[in-house]
Structure 1
Amino acid sequence: MATMFQSWSIHLAITLLAVQLCFGQKSCVIWSSAGHVVQRGSTFQVYCTFNCTCKGTLYSYHPPVAQAHKTLNPKTIYSNVVNITENRTYSCQCNCIPGGDPCGLDISAGYPPDRPKNISCIHKITYNDRGDVECTWNRGRHTYLWNSSVLWMRTVSGNHTDGPVHKVSSKGAESPTASFNVSRSVQFISVWVQAQNELGSVESSIINYTLSDIAMPPAPVLGQPQCSSRACILRVEQSVRTQHLQIQSRTEQQTWTASPVSAVQMTSPQTWSISSLEPYRLYYFRARTKFSSGLWSQWSTNTSSWTQEEAPTKELDVWSTAPASDLKSLRVYWKEPNNSISRGKIIQYTVSVKSPDLSVVITNMSADTRRHTVPFCDGCEVTVWARNSKGLSPPARITTQHSEAEPLDNVHVSADNSSITISWTKPESAPSPAAYVVEWYPVGHKLAELRWVKVGKDDNHTVISDVKPFECYEGAVYAFYNETSVSRTRFGGVAIWEAAPEVGPQVQEKAEGNKVKITWTDLPRDLRRGCITNYTIYLEKAKGHQEKFCRPASEREYVTKELPPGGYSLWMTASSARGEGRPSQKIKLFLEPEASIPLLAVGIIFFAIAVFLVCLCQSTAVKRRLWEFFQCLMLDVVPDPANSKWAKECAKEKDKMNLQLQLSNSTVTEEEEEPILVDVEELPGQNTASSKPTNVSSLLLHPQTCLSPDTQPATPLYPPTTYIKSFSHDSDSSDHTQTSLDTNTTVEYISSHALDLSDEEDAEVEEESVDIHFFPSHNTFKEPLEFGGKLTLDAVKIDCSDIFLNT
């Protein structure tokens, strides 16, 4: 259904359009009460009258917008237009069927023309006093309408008071001009301008001119200058003869100035000399001319040329400093001279070092060099020259030895948005300085970017403009009292623009026990944003407790106090005068408790040592050595049997005694053990242990008595004493190892555990040799210790002299 309706609408529209085209008539008539051109800001009515009675609509703007209207009669409607400010289009439409073409109206809004003013005319002479009069004027405000301007001119020549009137239309909408040709007989002219548009017409006042007062010659033509070091010869060509010539010159950095000129030769074209110029400068020249009366011509086209070079007439601006890391050298700096000093193109710099012994070292450097390092020596003189094609500059000298003078008072530094001001006060007690030098440089870049300025002795401040924003500067003020006396007063921490640092420092940490050593580096130069005042270290425990430590800007290392074991987070910030900057990246660290050897490790070590000793003791040689070593250790508790009092007394008796030795065996009981008889020979009463043995009566060691023919057996001559002490009864206690040697004390030399002697005193010892086992069978030393031959007191004697022999 919708499709059918749409098709029907299109068919109807096409039908109506065809009908209108066939009839070709308007459906209405539209007009304005003020016409089609109105003044801006005015109020008027727009009317529409239709050919039939219908409901009409009034439109305006683009795209069309229906306007509020009123009905005048059944066929006419109108709309009030108030304070119109721009051009506007109106149209009317009606639903008459059949109808005609819609009607429309274009309204132009503007202003009437202003009165022309500031009329100016020039008589431009071209050749042989002939030329055109050209006039310009100001037409006033823009009218937003099409305007026409006409220049009216009346000429007066000879005796005629009123000449013919000439009409010339203007050219150009923005700056109207008009020109016309006049003959040589014309002396005076009168001009006025008439301007008009659809809203009105207006004329200017009449201006009178004398042609000689407005006469202007054409601009001269300049040739290529020919220059020396101080003057240039300039050729000037003119198409007409003039009475006045003006030549101006300038350099690239200067403004135009009039140059003194003098005629070189009176020819055509004329040649002029321009003097008072500076050597090695690029000069630009221009010229203009004028008749005896009238106006100056236009300036000529510029021409240029270089003046020639001269040798430099002033020494270089030289300064020096000693590198902090190298006290054996001196860094010499110089500034590139300007043209007023160099007077030519610098092709080479020369540095000479003259030592006190009059030896000279000369070094030549390229024109791009601005510094040179020379060996430092006391009393040396450094001289610097600049060379161009014409010669050397005067020498600039520096002495390397200065005496310290009293520093300046109250060196004050302040900064604004573009410069740094440094002021000072000289000490009242010091003599008046001969000169001052102020040096400055970015922090940390003294050798690469050192700057300085020299000021007079009467100055007490200087303004530095050669600085960059967000850069921190430091420097010093030097006061020179003579060639060898100088003082230095440092200043630092100044910037023309500042902000908080953009990043934090790069941090490294190292745990040293319960302390942490923190190191950091300088911030990148372009991210400091001014002068760093301090660094802040943040240390945060795992539980959230936070500590911070502030350090001066000059430090790069900090060691914390003793910290409890545990986990920590570490970061840093840098601060400037504008506030604290962004934090660095957090570092995680963990402090462990002090290390201690675990009990398991101690047990493993002792077990390994014990196993090693047990394995080592399986060797017979090792066991023998250990036994001898233990016997040697017991020298203090086991006396020598051969030298005992009992042995010496018994050596006098010739009787024999029976000794019964009972060996200890873990596998045999005491009842099953057979007594072992020991044949002991008594020695004669000799003092040496090397006497031959003789047969003596057997002596029963239990109850250990020494018998003679003249004594009773029941009475012992000496207290019972044991000569061989059993190891099985030994103790590590000092109470057992240190036995008193008093004769009234019973000392067991053969323990009852090792020897069991019978009570029969007449028992004979039948065996000549005996094997004595000092250790039970269950001991680690499984092999018995063997002794050969008969047991004598000398044999029992222990000699430790060869224990460590061949060890």
Structure 2
Amino acid sequence: MAFSWIVPSAIWLVLHFTAESCRRGAVSAPRASGVCAKGTVTASSGQAVPPGTNITVSCRLAAPPGASWCWAAIFLNSSEQIRGQGGSVSKTFLLSSLGKHTFTCKSICGDKAKLVCGMDILAGTPPDEPRNVSCIQFGTKGRPTCTWHKGRLTYLDTAYGIELSNGTDTFCFPQETPNPVFGSGTLSKLDFNSNYTVVVSASNQLGNASSQPLTFMLVDIVKPHPPDFLVEFDDSSATSCSLSWHHEAQAQHYRLRYRPLSSSTWSTVEIFSREKYHLQGLEPDTAYEFQVSCRILPSRGLWSDWSSTQSQTPAAVPAGILDVWYRQQDLGPGHQNLSLFWKVSLVKPQKNPASSEQIRDNVCYGIRVSALYQGRAGQAASLRANSTAQAPSAGPQMFTTPWASGVLVSWEEIPAPQQRGCITAYHIYLHRSSRQGQPEVHAVPAGKVPRSLHIPVLQPGEHHELWMTAATAAGEGPRGNSDSVCLEGAGDWLTLVLVCSFLILSACVCSVPPARKVFQWLLSLLLPQWHSKAIPDPANATWAKSLTATKAELSAPSSPFLPSAFQEPETTPVEESWAEPPEPGDKLLVGSAGSRGHWPREQQLYQRLLLEPEYISSPGPSARSPEPEPEPIPLFPFLPPGPCCQGNLSLEGVKLSGSSFPR
């Protein structure tokens, strides 16, 4: 953690001590003059002027000559221009040519001329804008060098400098090797995690100019050193070899090309994130040249120079049926001489170039080659190849699916017209939103089936952006569609697990009767008041009030059914009887008004049913029933109903027996 900011800070401190402050703008020059002991020479302009400028030059002697025949004269480039008496003289000149013009003031007495003083006037131009600015660093441990084209010659002293900025501070590095056409300068050591901007500035006494800014990261301008590699042949095969290499920069992208020394055509293979490659399809007993180049990232940076080596494949093991015969010679009793002979014929492989009339450029072809023998074809060897190739014009269509702890990336093949050659590899780029710098690159060789790759171990809750590119032997194409992936966090699953655990635990507790009673008692304290509403009193119902009025009518002495001496009997509870129903032939005997018969028994039963309405919830179908109360919604459906409940008592299914009533 600390190392990530200590290194850039240390590098920037080095810049503070090695770079000088930038000074831009034209350098103001004083008026041109020459002051000497014997006199002075002055000009009406500065020391540098553009061509076509008129300047006035004056010459003045320090002490006027004593003799009248002594003169003060002005010379231009050793040629006298004017002389005058009195110790001073001046003249206006038109400087039409570029370059240096030397003016001198001399004292002429007779035929002797003595130098008094002199000065140079430069006719030149302001600097042009520096062009073709580029920077490069050789190796990962070097220092960047920037070069540029100066433009036309200024004929003046022109200062060039490199302005380096990281977005916060700006430093200048001077030109190192003066050159009239090209300029160059070396920067201090940079780090790989910062963005830099370089501007080349030029200034002289007539003006200044600056180049267009060049923005880069260090990985964009690093040119790695050529990798060292080794070629090894397998004794069991004369047509294959293994190449291994090592590079100090741990490059992720390599190019391997090889050719027989007898041929000028190279075969190229691109290799990603590996330091070893097994090459097949070589010719036995053939001298080859192998070359390897690398760059740091698959899609950025500069390619290194080629490193080269030459090696010869082993001779092929004979693969054929030997013709064997022998000759027998008798030497004597019990002795023979056997001579064994054999022969093998090897046919050198033939190379038959296919017709190229129908082969188009930038098209990938599937090629199958088989040997013919006696009209029959042998097993075919296949490969994919193209005559020429360009980088793909489009990227693959990519699909992402969160899977396990990562993401499964699948893609569709690029349409053939947009491939522009044989696809050699696919690159999947993964950029994590919480990290700065370059995205992760996952290289997938072409021809992988199925076309998918699982990228594991992604941080839950973090946004990841993915995109893909495809590459041919000519280079990498543009990116295809992009997709953003964010894996769900573990918080949602934890909440679900806790809720399920609580419900399961509650069900287990309620399955035990003692625990269920305690749980019901706790719920009765927590449930709202409406859930434990008391059973309403039937005596307050409408039908009970109407029966109260009927009671008074029945107690009147004029009733033909009740005796005059009727008194309200004691309350007798109504009992539910399970007696057998009467037979169809049975009759109910009712006595007349004079003879009681069985009447007192039914009379008392009828009286108790009518005069004690508080024990009956419904008088029959003719009475109006109260509207039912809405049933409460159960909060816990798996619990049995509590002691608080509602309902009506109905006598429709109740049978009354008169055996319990006194006669």
> Where on the TM-score scale, by shorter chain, does this alignment land: which range?
0.3 to 0.5
TM-score (norm 1): 0.30
Rg larger in 1 or in 2?
1
Q: Which has the higher contact order (CA 8 A, sep 6+)?
A: 2
